[in-house]
Amino acid sequence: MQPSPRTSAVSSWRKREGAQDQTTGDHFLHVFIEDGSPVAQLGCGGALLLTAAAEQNIDKDRWMNITVRKFFSCFAGFIVSIRYGEPSLTSPSPSLFSFHRYNLPVGKRGGSCMIEIVADNGPARRLQEYVSRPAPEGIFGPIFLGDVSPHLESPDRPAAGSRRFVGCIGKLWVNSNDSDLMGDAVRGRNIKNCDPPVCQHLPCRNGGTCISDAENWFCECPPLYTGRLCQFSACELNPCSHGATCIPKSPLEAVCLCPYGRQGLLCEEPIGITRARFSGGDRFGYTSFAAHSSLPSFTFFYEFRLQFTLANNSTAVRDNLVLFAGHKGQGNDGDDYLVLGVRSGRVVHRFNLGSGVATMVSDQLDLRVNIHSVTFGRAGRTGWLKVDGQRNRTRSSPGPLRGLKDFKLLFVGGYSEYTPELLPLGSRFRQGFQGCIFDVKFSTRREGAPQPLGHPSFGRNVGQCGVDPCNHVRCRHGGTCVDSGSSVYCQCPLGWKGALCSETVSVCDGEHSPPPLCAQGSTCIPLPNGYTCRCPLGTAGIYCDKAVTISDPFFSGSLSSWMSFRPVRMRHTTGLQLQFQPLSPHGILVYVAQRLSASAGDFICLSLASGFVLLRFNLGDGVHTLRSAGRVDTLGRSWHTVRAGRVGHRGFLSLDDKEVNESGTGGMSTLDVATEIFVGGVSTLSLVSVDATEGEPVGFTGGLREVIVNGREFELTESSALSGANVGDWDGTACGFKVCQNGGSCAPTGTDAFTCTCPPLWTGSVCNQSVPCVNNVCSRGSSCIPSNVTSYRCICPLGWGGRYCDSEVTTDTLRFVGNSYVKYIDPRYDARNLRFVQVSFSFLTRSHDGLIMWAGKAEHQDDDYLAVGLESGRLKIAVNLGEKLSPPVTLANLTFCCGKWHNITLSLSSTVIQVFHNSERVLLQNLDPFERYVALNYGGRLYFAGFELNRKIAAVTSGLFSDAFEGKLKNVYLCKDTKPLLFLRDTEGFNVFEDSEQ
């Protein structure tokens, strides 16, 4: 069940009856989820209300422990363990538990009122205020979980329904006492068991996660493991091609389940399908199926006509699915589906419009008939079924509903889920269809002419009717060829192994004769005719025994090449820039996801599809897709530049400066990803999200010479990547795109050396030394910058000046010249009250635009900050306390320009910002009346006029400011300090001059 996006209550304490005090107001504790984070709210009496939010975000389908401690002079607290997104407390009908009241220790003479919240052993968020009056004595309670009883709502608080929690609560401790959630509850309603008994016994192996709803379960496996219980582990050696599903047959051997249109042992052979043949389920638990998308609506009417032949007269007519479309209900919403199957020798047509099942069953099939014909359909609540020459069967569904919801996919022959328990209850058939299904036609209007179902979007294990792929496979030594539609493998007798049962032991076993020749560190992968070696980065060759230096990487889709790099924060915005030269029209360029799984959660993927550049991303509410305006050259004649990404929920894509922008409406705006950033491919292609690519996922074939993610450029070498496999060098030389710096040109000298020809102002082996600076005499750690071919200047650290930075200068007044900056580390940061931050300074500007001050870590786009600068001569203030909830503010009525001193004070108290100009208040604004975040965690860092010399202001500030400040700054005060900041003691800075004018 999807969770409510805002203010879903986890638990609520409220003092009632004798504990109500009309003079001090309400005393209560309220814990809820807001914008994905746990929040605790404590009423201390009167108008005093403390609100603290945990730093961690809640992930769906994962347990999180939340600890809340509160004080009214004496201690009281609770711990609750919740999981967000699994239905135990359900909505829209309110779900709640209530528990007995309990005594709260209180002070007699007033004292501290404090709230503290901790999520999953993360950092504690604490707020504390002094209360002059004592908390009234009395009983505290009752405790409500999930919702508050409507008749207990007070008129000045929001309705209970606005705080309904949707998810699971597993444990509850109050004042260190473990509560029995069911046994201690005095009343409640609409509560379901969160996990079925299977998940409570933790059946999944090898780190697998048991996922369930109220009825069913399955194991979500970590990378390199598969099987219903995550018990198989051979697919890290995945030999399967074209995105086939890899299933381990033994510790070192795998079976490839082929996607639609492919067949063979490794799924490398194309197959033309005119009459689809389905094999039912295989020994690994997967059914063959074909899935169709982009279908018209079946809401009020549908009719299907099809023909089928049976593979046999026993298992093929036992319990087999023919056709299915639908989804399971959630909460009070019922199941919606239509299904056709064969059970106990009869054809069954069922549908459910959300209020009950209608079932039509044919007579026994005449198994002497080779081809069976079926017509079935529905108009409103009435359905029908006609099989062969039998009489027409009709039934009506119960309840008032008359329409089906729209479905994204229609499955023929089987289902994509691993187990039928994941289908709606009435639509479950234990096996997929065994036989051929063909001539499928449908109509969605009573008078409409039937139209062919068309080519499926994707599928698995579907063969051509009348074609036996085992005719092309010769299993040796008594091995049996197993036909699973288009997928085949040999079932070997005891003592034999190998793809064709031709080896007594695996060709990759060390005891095999001859032993595998893969070099140490590489991976041996068995193939039908021998083996192949998967080479780690820095090696190449048939046996990975040749060292290779990568300067511009070359990827091969047929070898499943890939590289991976450390994650980069991209929650609010994602910017990708690549230069590439493709040799194939398909392939993944960049991929990162919430998890490596076919159901990957959030992801963003840049790929090639039929020569077009494709950007796809999912923020949790559906897939966004952008396609380039033109195709790329796949003949290796030119390098292409692509810039792509997203700002919030709006995507952008530019191929060779031809832009495509998304014109979407609102929706989720954050991307939550956790995997490594994959370049050129993915370590296991079958674990790529099914929505990330157009068609089956394949690796990129071609060269890459530049990859930049959110301003961070990856060094595309074997030593800088986290991991990778089967990556070569684009041209086989040591010359790379940026080996020679500052515009130098590279010429290879042999296979592993090069020389750089440098432009006039540069010298050195890689053109990284300026000619004028070779013998510079800049001192005190200053930087040398060339002025022209023969001269240079020194950029001095803070406190030093002169031509060679050898003269001490004062820093009472700082003069910035446009490429200057000061970085101040606040030594008193740990003692500051982060709910109240004040900065005062005097400035004189020489330009209309520029960043004056940035209080914040300035490391990641999610970091808190308080910033002030100039934009078109007007003061611009930007604040982020978390989630970038408030837009920047520009003072339109004041113009600041050149040659005049201005005194500015910025005061941030919780979410209220005040700005004073020359002691006159010019801004008073509450940036977030809901007070979702109230503290400025600036990390003790303040930047003035800009950032470090190698950092661009526009990139660091996410476009809030573009230019550095030019002008003067003095009298900088922080918070309530009585003395101005002393910049020399704790300060880093460059190119800052002393004031030469008064």
Q: Give the global pTM.
A: 0.55
* DSSP secondary structure string for all residues of 421-442: GGS-GGG--SEE-EEEEEEEEE
CA dihedral 611, 617, 618, 623 (to 10 degrees): -40
| pLDDT value at 109 more than 80 | no
> How far apart (Å, rounded) are the C-alpha atoms in residues 203 and 216?
13
Position 160 confidence tier, pLDDT thresholds 50, 70, 90: very low
Residue of 270 and 110 predicted with greater confidence: 270
pLDDT for position 899: 80
Tell which residue, 33, 68, 13, 52, has the closest CA to residue 168.
33
The pLDDT, as a whole number, for residue 140 is 57
Determine the pLDDT at residue 19. 39
pLDDT band at 406 (very low <50, low <70, confident <90, very high): confident
Hey, what CATH topology would domain 813-993 get? Jelly Rolls (2.60.120)
Structure confidence at residue 592 (pLDDT): 97
User: 850-870 pLDDT, tens per residue?
Assistant: 999 999 999 888 889 999 999
Q: Between these two residues, 594 and 49, which has the higher pLDDT value?
A: 594
Architecture per CATH, domain 272-464, reads as: Sandwich (2.60)
At 471 the three-state DSSP class reads: helix
Asked if 228 and 244 count as a contact pair (C-beta separation under 8 A), the reply is no
| pLDDT at position 79 | 55
Average pLDDT score over residue span 692-711 = 93
Class of domain 549-560+585-729: mainly beta
Segment 53-72, tens digit of pLDDT: 887 777 665 667 788 877 65
Give the separation between CA 398 and CA 361, rounded to whole angstroms.
17
Which residue is it, tokens 């609409």?
Answer: 190
- Average model confidence (pLDDT) across the chain: 83
- pLDDT value at 952 more than 70: yes
| pLDDT over 60 (residue 880) | yes
What value does the mean pLDDT take over residues 398-425? 83
**Residue 686 in this model has a pLDDT that exceeds 70:** yes
* Cβ(434)–Cβ(280) below 8 Å: yes
Cβ atoms of 900 and 918 within 8 Å: the answer is no
Task: Select the highest-mean-pLDDT range: 45-49, 404-408, 433-437, 644-648.
Answer: 433-437
218, two tokens: 């399955």
How far apart are the C-alpha atoms of 631 and 615, rounded to whole Å?
14
Residue 150 has what pLDDT?
57
Q: Which of 167-181, 213-227, 356-370, 730-744 has the lowest mean pLDDT?
A: 213-227
Query: What are the backbone angles phi and psi of residue 788, rounded to the nearest 5°?
Result: -155, -160
- Report, as an integer, the average pLDDT of 884-904: 87
Q: Quick one: pLDDT at residue 282?
A: 79
* Fold equal for 549-560+585-729 and 813-993: yes
Q: Quick one: how far is CA 375 from the chain centroid? A: 44
CA 939 to chain CA centroid, Å, is: 27
Whether the CB-CB separation of 898 and 966 falls below 8 Å is answered with no
Mean pLDDT check: name the lowest of 149-163, 585-599, 718-732, 823-837: 149-163
Residue ranges covered by each domain of the chain: 27-149+161-179, 205-237, 243-256+467-515, 272-464, 549-560+585-729, 813-993
CATH architecture for segment(s) 205-237: Ribbon (2.10)
Label residue 646 by pLDDT band (50, 70, 90): very high
- Residue with more model confidence, 342 or 636: 342
Question: Which residue in the block uniquely carries the two structure tokens 């000046």?
Answer: 801
The most confident of the ranges 416-425, 901-910, 951-960 is 901-910
Q: How many CB atoms lie within 10 A of CB 61?
A: 15
Question: Helices in 727-866 by DSSP H: which ranges?
Answer: none
Determine the pLDDT at residue 427.
87
How far apart are alpha carbons 881 and 933 in whole angstroms? 6
Alpha carbon dihedral 646, 649, 650, 652, in 10-degree steps, equals: 30
Q: Which residues contact 669 (CB under 8 A, 6 or more apart)?
A: 572, 619, 648, 649
Task: Tell me the fold of 243-256+467-515.
Answer: Laminin (2.10.25)
> How sure is the predictor about 105, in pLDDT bands with cuts at 50, 70 and 90?
very low
Is residue 193's pLDDT more than 70?
Answer: no
487 vs 642: which has the higher pLDDT? 642
pLDDT of residue 27: 76
% of the chain beyond a pLDDT of 90: 41
- Specify the pLDDT at position 316: 87
